[in-house]
Structure 1
Amino acid sequence: MSDLQTSSKEPTPPLEPVPPPQPSLLKRFIRVLLGRPLSSSQMEHTLLPKFLALPVFSSDAISSVAYATQEILLVLGGAGLWISSAQSRYSHYTMLITTLIVVLLAIVVASYWQTIHGYPNGGGSYIVAKDNLKPRFMPDLPGLIAASALLIDYVLTVAVSIASGVQNLESLPLPPWLQWLHFDHLVLWCLLFIGLLTLANLRGLKESGSMFAIFTYGFVIMCYLMIFLGVFGHAFFGWHMHTEYANQRWWDGSTAQSPGAHTVGTIGLFLLLNAFANGCSAMTGTEAVSNGIPAFREPKSHNAAWTLVYMGIILGSILLGISYLAVNFHVVYWEHAGQTAPAVIDQISGTVFGKTGRWQFLYWATQVFTAAILVLAANTSFADFPRLSSILARDRYMPKQMSNLGDKLVFTNGILLLGLFAALLIIWKGGNVDALIPLYAIGVFTAFTLSQAGMVVHWYHLRKVVRGWQVKAFFNGLGAIATGLVFIDLIIEKSREGAWIVVVLVPIMVYLFKRIHVHYEEVAKLLTLDNYCPPKEPQKNIVLVLVPTLHRGVMQALEYARSISSDCRAVHVCIDPEETPRLIQRWEQWVHDVPLVILNSPYRTLIEPIMRYLDAIHLERPNTTITVVIPEFVPPKWWHAFLHGQSAARLKLALLGREDVVVTNVRYFLHPCEESTPAKMQHNQAPLPQHQTGVVK
């Protein structure tokens, strides 16, 4: 019988699923730009294999071969070595400096190989210096110096890479139907590329690596093809060289009138050191792999180490090849009276492939890939700047927002901040590569030196548990000495060209980091539960409902106020004395359980009378919390808000600074077809004891 009775009961209908709200037009637009969001469980799928990690973390270093030789030739050519009578010294010094840079690169790669295995979870210069170099007077100083130098260098990398890429595009002989591109508008094109790179990285690290891989590998292939044909093509394949595109004299007039011709006999050590400092721009970006170990697939340190080696081999071989072709073809690069010669790689590729004829498409491919990788080289900074910022934020040296992961599992705030700083730098320097280069490399060699010195200390601390620690410490010590000497050279040679700005900016950033850290430490002490004593008396609460006039939104706010406290008051600021009696009449008609307080405002101000009333309540009941309820109606269209006053927003802003006040905003959404519902307000009309009603003036 019980079973029959049970079966006769009607089953409870299942709850219908509530359809998700339709996203706004702005959210749909953002979804199209950035793609669908990724859940935290998909973090593993965003990690990079070596094939994608190489273009992501090495594009900066590899792309530097496009301007490193060029910067060496700029110094040597300015000394007059480009003329025919000095050609032997021109070739000798260029190859000598390039070889020294490649040797330095090998030392740095070997040093960072040790760093990657010593810090398999990420061994950036900041972490290594912070953990191992701890002077007594300020233990975190070396780490903060390394972090500041790296952050500055990342911003400069974006600016230099993009400006250099646009410079290569500017030298392209565009056909008439492409003349409208106007690549001579450097700043506008640089800002456009910064915006595109920012957007690409906001879509996710793996997606940006997939998009950029084709350009990085395309550039490497075209460089090797150009070097191979330039070195062996004429002898073994009868390849024709178009030497007219590597002119020895870009100047009008005789050799004696050419800039620098009178200084041929004054070559000295300082000139060579200056050329070496310029060429060391090829070293920037080599630390990016060790900084980005967490982004690699497992085994992380193994994959990162071999990616570093591949990067070093590619960078060193292409740099040597381009310098050899430059001196073999007697390529000249100069800057004079606001004009510059075509980029060195443009002259070399034009000589090898020809700018006209059957193989001109190879020249075009080289230039397009060169411009692309120079622009995309900034992607290395977009990968490392946000990651380093997040680590600093985790250690309380930068705002905590820098450690927040966005919808695409990337550090969105760091990406946006880097794009903004790079854009400002481009505008300041007018997109001029030669004006940006002097600021370059000082930051990265500061980080190099501190990191390698820190690794020496690291291996010494582990001498009892690590075999062969002496060999490891030797390589890192050699790297510290070599990069330290280069750092000193850069300071001496580049300070008079504007690099002193970087030297001044580093201590300023260190000071800001320290102030942020002090703030977070003070907040932590104030919020700690140590020695916390709960209040002995229960907290009392007075609720004030601000009433501009009486409408449905105010009635809803009153409902909320009654639910949180029995001690409720309505407050109206009398700005228009003619409207106040009408409000009182309607109040007595509709509300019977909440007293209405009228605050006179002879000067028609809204905020000051409320503040004075709050002070009076605080004096009357010092241990009572005051909750201010602000009713606000929300119109159906966003633009309708501009047709109404913003008094609620001004009140909330004014009340934010008061310790004794809790502000609650009760919003009432307007619906055009909504009708009155007397039953809903029936309880408001019920008579209550007289002492709970009335108007207080």
Structure 2
Amino acid sequence: MNEEQVRALRRVGRAWGRVSAQPAVWRRALPLEPDVGRFPVTAEAAPAWFGRLVPLPPLRTRAGDGRTAVEQGAPVPPAASRARRVLLGAPLASSAFVTERMRKLVALPVLSADALSSVAYGPEAMLAVLVLAGTVGLGYSLPVAAVIVLLMLAVGLSYRQTIRAYPHGGGSYIVAGDNLGPVPGLVAAAGLLTDYVLTVAVSIASGVAAITSALPGLTPWRVPLGVAVILVLLAGNLRGIRQAGALFAAPTYAFVVAMGALIAFGLVDAARGGFAAAPAPRVPVAEAVGLLLITRAFSSGATAMTGIEAISNAVPAFRPVEWRNARTTLTWMVGLLITMFAGIVVLSHLAGVVPRAQETVLSQLAHLAFGQGWGYVYVQAATAAVLLLAANTAYNDFPRVLSLLARDDYAPKVFLRLGDRLAYSNSIVLLSLAAAAVYVAFDGRTGALIPLYAVGVFLAFTLSQTGMVVHWWRRRDAHWRKSLVFNATGAVLSGLVLLTAGLSKFTSGAWVALIAIALFLWVTTRIQRHYAIAREALRLRPHAVDIPAATGTGPLAPAVRGGGAREDLEAEEIPEEVHHLSVVAIATLDLAAMRTLAYAASLAQPVLTVHISTTDEEARRFRAYWELWGDHLPLQIVLSPYRAVVAPLVHYIETLHRLHPDLTLTVLLPEVVTRRRRHRFLHSRTATRLRRALRRLPKIVITTVPFHLPT
């Protein structure tokens, strides 16, 4: 809360004090002991095999008479939930996030798989454009490749400066937003998210192409194979960061070894012939050599740079010291990328290899180096594996960017939620669905997807590097001139690639990426506008807060604590036989929460307020605000170490019910009601989930106190 909110909270608390009974009266009225125990810490929690909630050891609860009761927890979830837990693994406590950090040897394959694997299609995409001009066009392959290598080096050095300036993670969205403003930041985020979706589609399309080059009989199954791989990636990433790294590290390193062996064998063979280039096969000339052809080839070959930003965007995922390990990993990645890209282009030039529809360039080079033996099989298998799994880089960064957008109110808050395995599960599912749709729509063809690819990534590169130029110009700290030159060079070169890609590939499909970016801007700004309206409507204002009427200044006489259970728990026939407890569940102290508290107090029945905190810090902060308000009603804070909110609330209410089955529990929740149906998914639907979870238990009533937004 800001100072204005704190002052309003104090004034509201004083108003409550004038019309409500003393806090001690409300506490004496409680028919039960609200502290029913605690959730286990990490060391006490048994491994989970099913359900959303970590299987708890018998919950230690205290009955009203001080005796210790044993609560066995919730019933076993259905078979579908058990299968989900077996597939995805046991939930991890938030404290496990430290153990989920990546060391450099794991981070390199996880975060560099996209960039390193792009040498399998980047050089081929460049040659596929140059070959349109025949042998003369192929003669420009080395100069164009040299410019691309220079661009790789400049952008790599630029992102080293970005990591130094933003040691807590400096993706294009953060850098552009901090230094250029919110709109450029959103444009950069749009470019990144578009690029990540296409990374999955293009990587899988290229991997399937590598498989069908070696096994042509699988060509008709290209689309089902790609969709199956997306499902494998989905399951692997839902298991969490460390599991994904262990799963995807081996193929990346196998690919690096395969490329090293291929380049070494190829260069040794070329050395025997004095490095004389073999004549390329005669190909029909479809286009004359010109500036447009060269720029198209340059922008196509530059797709080999996609994924360079991944490391600077994922600095928090490294082990300490995070920024230093990230810079080291980035240096390794750029060095390997330049070596492999240059090596493939040089070998293609020396061997006279040209792109063919039935066989990839890498497959042709492997045939020349190893024939049909095990060497060829290993190169193709490693290439297919790394391409199919290179999409994992997008699975690491897409959720992180989307969570930053949700934090800043540009995306639904559901994308802030960490799943059981400390992964942004909702974002991972969204990425999988979008990538599968793109892959199927373009029939899994790499050539059809490449034109969409360069626009988004180089848009993000350009805005990020331009933002860094502004950053160094404003800061002017030690070595700022050198850093500014590095970032300015990266910005100019990235801007040139963006311009050439946008112009030369507009009719080939780049317009789709541009429309997607424009649509993204429209949607995110509308979401931010709605959240701004909701935040203003929910802001505490002294004269807008509901206060319980003075005629109902306190609860009725308390029910007997620990009352005996009746044989028929739902046999009450007259009002006097119903013993009430109102349980108010709130997340924040805003107008909606205050209205719910006032409504509960006005019923003149015992009231218990429950707040679920996911961290100790959040619990302390909420307790401080509650006492600032005046501590007028009993409060129970439940600490959930597994980030869940609804499940611990359900468990707590179930425990109250089992310890006091004679009580009728009325669970009250504030509900934000929107005027437009499309805005509903932007807000929590806790009441619906509670009703579904608790409907099997008698004498539990779920009700909501609506708060209507003005628009």
Report the TM-score, using the length of structure 1 for normalisation.
0.70
SS in structure 2 of the partner of residue 64 of structure 1: helix
- Structure 1 residues 142 and 347, CA gap change in structure 2 (3 angstroms): same
When the two chains are superposed, the root-mean-square deviation of aligned CA atoms in Å is 3.4
Answer yes or no: is 1:130 the counterpart of 2:177.
yes
Deviation track 1:178-209 (CA, whole Å, cap 9, x = no partner) reads x6xx3431111110000100110000111111
Once residues 545 and 314 of structure 2 are traced to their aligned partners in structure 1, the CA distance between those partners, rounded to angstroms, is: 46
Judge conservation of contact 1:162–1:193 (CA < 8 Å) in 2.
yes
Superposition deviation, residue 537 in structure 1: 2.1
Cα 1:526–1:500 shift into 2, 3 Å: same
Counterpart Cα distance in 1 of 2:131 and 2:81: 55
| Post-superposition offset of 1:72 | 1.1
State the alpha-carbon separation in 1 of the partners of residues 318 and 325 from structure 2: 7
Look at both structures and tell me which one has the larger radius of gyration over its CA atoms.
1
Question: Partners in 2 of 1:80 and 1:19 — Cα distance?
Answer: 73
The letter of the residue matching 1:348 is L
* Amino acid in structure 2 at the alignment position of 1:200: G
Q: Which amino acid aligns with 1:349?
A: A
Q: How does 1:51-130 map to 2 (within 5 A)?
A: 51-81=105-135, 86=136, 90=138, 92-130=139-177
Corresponding residue SS for 2:348: helix
Partners of 1:363 and 1:565 lie apart in 2 by 73
Indicate the residue corresponding to 1:535 in structure 2. Answer: 547
CA offsets 1:64-97 (integer angstroms, 9 cap, x no match): 000011111111112222xxxx4xx62x311111
Counterparts in 2 of 1:619-638, with a 5 A limit?
none
Once the two structures are superposed, what CA deviation does each residue of 1:501-535 show, in whole Å capped at 9, x if it has no partner? 11122122111111111111111111111334443
* Identity across the alignment (%): 40
Please state if 1:374 is matched with 2:387.
Answer: yes
Question: Closer, same or farther in 2 for the Cα pair 1:15/1:171, shift >3 Å?
Answer: same
Query: Per-residue deviation at 1:306?
Result: 1.0
Counterpart pick for 2:92 among 35, 38, 47: 38
Give per-residue Cα distances to partners, 1:130-189, cap 9 Å, x unaligned: 10113xxxxx11000000110001000000000110011011147xxxx6xx34311111
C-alpha distance 155-406 of structure 1, shift in aligned 2 (>3 A): same
1:277 is displaced (CA, Å) by 1.0
Aligned equivalents of 2:162 and 2:573: distance in 1?
A: 61
* 1:281 matched residue in structure 2: 303
The Cα offsets for residues 319-351 of structure 1, whole Å up to 9 and x where unpaired, read as: 1110111111111114xxxxx130010000111
Residue among 24, 48, 57 paired with 2:102: 48
Pairwise mapping of residues 332-411 of structure 1 onto structure 2 (< 5 A)?
332-334=354-356, 340-355=357-372, 360-411=373-424
Does residue 318 of structure 2 align to residue 296 of structure 1?
Answer: yes
Kindly provide the amino acid, as one letter, of the partner of residue 195 in structure 2.
D
Q: Secondary structure at the match of 2:134?
A: coil
Match of 1:423 in 2: 436
Counterpart of 1:161 (choices 198, 203, 225) is 203
Please say if residues 445 and 486 of structure 1, whose CA atoms lie closer than 8 Å, have aligned partners that are also in contact.
yes
Deviation for aligned residue 1:13: 8.6
Look up the SS of the partner of 2:308 in the other structure.
coil
Task: Verify: 1:502 aligned to 2:513, yes or no.
Answer: yes
Aligned partner of 1:261 in structure 2 is 285
Asked if 2 retains the 8 angstrom alpha-carbon contact of 1:247 and 1:332, the reply is no
Aligned to 1:525: 536
Read off the aligned partner of 2:467 and give its amino acid letter.
Answer: G
Distance 1:658 1:66 in 2: 50
Greater Cα shift, 15-24 or 109-118: 15-24
Q: Which amino acid aligns with 1:497?
A: S
Q: 1:299 to 1:77 in 2, by over 3 A?
A: same
8 A contact 1:132–1:457 mirrored in 2: yes
| Contact 2:252/2:386 (8 A) holds in 1 | yes
Out of 478, 481, 484, the position equivalent to 1:470 is 481
- Mapped to 2, the partners of 1:536 and 1:227 lie a distance apart of 79
Contact 2:280–2:353 (8 Å) recurs in 1 = yes
Aligned to 2:349: 327
C-alpha distance 561-491 of structure 1, shift in aligned 2 (>3 A):
farther
Deviation at 1:247, TM superposition (A): 10
Q: Secondary structure at the match of 2:410?
A: coil
Looking at structure 1, the residues matched to 674 and 493 of structure 2 have their Cα atoms a distance apart, in angstroms, of: 58
Does the 8 Å CA contact 1:161/1:378 hold for their aligned counterparts? yes
Offset at residue 561 of structure 1 (A): 9.7
Summarize deviations over 1:575-608 as a string: whole Å, max 9, x none: xxxxxxxxxxxxxxxxxxxxxxxxxxxxxxxxxx
Asked if the contact 1:390–1:403 (Cα under 8 Å) also holds between the matched residues in 2, the reply is yes
- Cα distance in 1 for residues equivalent to 2:200 and 2:172: 19
AA of the residue aligned to 2:187: I
In the superposition, relative to structure 1, how do residues 536 and 476 fare at CA in structure 2: closer, same or farther (>3 Å)? same
Paired residue for 1:449?
462
Which digits, 9 at most, give the CA deviation of each residue in 1:588-643, with x for residues without a partner? Answer: xxxxxxxxxxxxxxxxxxxxxxxxxxxxxxxxxxx999x9xxxxxxxxxxxxxxxx
Matches of 1:78 and 1:481, distance apart in 2:
28
For residues 668 and 504 of structure 1, do their structure 2 counterparts lie closer, same or farther at Cα, with a shift above 3 Å needed? closer
Report the alpha carbon displacement of residue 665 of structure 1 after superposing the two structures with TM: 6.0
1:170-185 alignment, distance < 5 Å: 170-173=212-215, 182-185=218-221
- 2:185 alignment partner in structure 1: 143
- Aligned AA (2:285): A
Q: SS of the residue aligned with 2:214?
A: coil
Question: Within 1, Cα distance between the matches of 2:532 and 2:140?
Answer: 54
Counterpart-to-counterpart distance in 1, 2:393 and 2:106? 12
One-letter identity of the residue aligned with 1:207:
Q
- SS, match of residue 420 in structure 2: coil
Name the counterpart of 1:309.
331
| CA distance 1:345–1:624, change in 2 (3 Å) | same
Q: Are the structure 2 counterparts of residues 262 and 42 from structure 1 closer, same or farther at C-alpha, using a change threshold of 3 Å?
A: closer
Amino acid at match of 1:394: R
Tell me, in whole angstroms, the C-alpha distance in 2 between the residues paired with 1:390 and 1:364.
41
d(CA) in 1 for partners of 2:271, 2:546: 90
